[in-house]
Structure 1
Amino acid sequence: MSTVPVTRLVALVRETTPLVHCLTNSVVREITADVLLAAGAAPAMIDHPDEAGDFAGVASGVLVNVGNPTAEQVEGMHAAVAAAGAAGTPWVLDPVAVGGLALRTQLATGWLDGAPGTAPTAIRANASEAVALAGTGAGGRGVDSTDDVAAAEPAARELARRTGGVVAVSGPRDLVVTAPDSGATRTTWIESGHPLLQKVIGTGCSLGALTAAYLGAARAEGIDDHDAVVAAHAHVGAAGTVAGRAASGPGSFAVAWLDALHALTPAEIADLAAVTDA
């Protein structure tokens, strides 16, 4: 199966500045916007139900992050998902802490089998979230995973088959799986990053937003969704590797990571992230 190099996709995001519509957790809005700007995309934080549907139809990509949802935001999420499906806008589901809390679990699982065209283009989750979303586990410890990425691979494959989209499971090694109706399942592993990524709020949530950015840029050029999701994870992980070399703790890491997202060249990102198709 042909693949598009990470270098091309990183350059494409920076050249096209995809507009990402983020309906996301109130705890991570600022870092999510900062990450998108640093990486070369443009953020928009619009979740009012009277505006979310309109904006999702014109954005390059949409993020739906179910962490800390309000009643009004839930209405906005439903409107955005429906509008994205109608417009063909790629959207990313981040099932934060699914399995442990009923509302967000019902929301996330409900979108998996929704009307044709409204299933998520990609799911970005940690291992416990992926397992819970697939219905084979109870979730992690709050927002933290208690499962290994490799152990979540069967759940990721099931979710990819069920939605027809791409499923990414993040951890010490990131897993990206696509299971199309026709053709062989595609599995990619990305090895990069640093343990301090787990000590800074919003790194995983902002990865979901960056995944939407990469999907939007790739779709405009006819590039496969799988390649876009891999490149987003490579970008975040490579920046984590560089930040870890300079940081003395979580605070300095957060600043160095944001700087690296902006400063690393496409070639450096590709060199720092070991991408392997299984």
Structure 2
Amino acid sequence: MSTPSHLLARMRARSPLVQCITNFVATNIAANVLLAAGASPAMVHAEEEAEEFARIAAALTINIGTLSGPAVTGMKAAIAGAGAAGKPWVLDPVACFATGFRRQTTADLLALRPTIIRGNASEILALGGGQSAGQGADAGDPVEKAEGAARLLARSQGAVVAVTGPVDFVTDGARAMRVAGGSPLMPKVTALGCSLTCLVGALVAVAPDQPFEATVAALAGFAVAGEAAAREAQGPGSFACRFLDALHGLDALLTHADERISPA
């Protein structure tokens, strides 16, 4: 198994181009997170070019946070391009349980077979057929409650599933790992979870044959950067700035990434 530190170093050395179709709340911070971490973001989403661009990018990430009909059309076009080019793609099913439109969109996207699914516990519970206590984009359930649903979802989809929270859980249906670390301030900064999905895309871009290891590496890198940022932050505002700085200086933190993971 490739270690998180090895894969994070590979990502920073290669600076992969990642097509990020995300919500309009997350666009700026997600792009800045990828730039700080060492990847190259492209927020290309329009139907007219999404498919063509996905053939160029090394990976694609899809986030359903702010849905519309044209947005969904662009997502599906991009997924078609990624599939035709053999590129991995990551699904972030934000509040997938909240409305009929979201439930149908998520079902349609799952049928297109994402390589990786990253969500909070309530989202993964809903996708796995369980009862979710989530409200909007916020998790209302602990990660531990969603672990069984994550395993079932991973097996049924043939995908890696990541449940993120205070201690993350990652599974491919057979293997499972936990990733500890981060900071309680992270949920206080909007769109950091959405940005994490984009970082997962950057890691699987440089390890397309290792989606499980790539997902673990992205979560571990996020965790150590969050810890480093929290040490000097006075609150969410200063944390956001320090978090980008910590990602930019990730080389000094890489060895700590390997310490954040444990078998589940």
TM-score range, shorter chain: over 0.9
Structure 2 equivalent of residue 148 of structure 1 = 142
Structure 1 equivalent of residue 254 of structure 2 = 269
- Over residues 84-123 of structure 1, what are the superposed CA-to-partner deviations in whole Å (9 max), with x where a residue is unaligned? 12211110000001101221221112222x2xxx300000
Structure 1 equivalent of residue 228 of structure 2 = 242
Structure 1 equivalent of residue 206 of structure 2 = 217
The CA distance in 2 between the partners of 1:141 and 1:246, in whole Å, is 31
Is 1:133 equivalent to 2:127 in the alignment? yes
The CA distance in 2 between the partners of 1:124 and 1:270, in whole Å, is 24
The CA distance in 2 between the partners of 1:260 and 1:138, in whole Å, is 34
> Which aligned pairs between 1:102-141 and structure 2 lie closer than 5 A?
102-112=100-110, 114=111, 118-138=112-132, 140-141=134-135
SS for the counterpart of 1:57 is helix
**Which of 231, 244, 258 lines up with 2:217 in the alignment?**
231
Structure 2 equivalent of residue 182 of structure 1 = none
Change (3 A) 1:176 1:270: farther
Deviation at 1:138, TM superposition (A): 4.0
Counterpart residue identity of residue 234, structure 2: S
Root mean square deviation, CA, Å: 1.2
**Which of 178, 182, 191 lines up with 1:189 in the alignment?**
178
Counterpart residue identity of residue 81, structure 1: I
Q: What TM-score, normalized to structure 2? A: 0.96
Change (3 A) 1:105 1:238: same
Counterpart residue identity of residue 66, structure 2: N
The CA distance in 2 between the partners of 1:19 and 1:270, in whole Å, is 25
Task: Kindly indicate whether the alpha-carbon contact (under 8 Å) linking 2:50 and 2:75 is maintained by their aligned counterparts in 1.
Answer: yes
Deviation at 1:135, TM superposition (A): 2.3
- Structure 1: 4+ residue segments shifted above 4 A: none
Where do 5+ consecutive residues of structure 2 fail to align?
none
The CA distance in 1 between the partners of 2:255 and 2:72, in whole Å, is 37
Percentage of identical aligned residues:
46
Where do 5+ consecutive residues of structure 1 fail to align?
180-184
Q: What TM-score, normalized to structure 1? A: 0.92
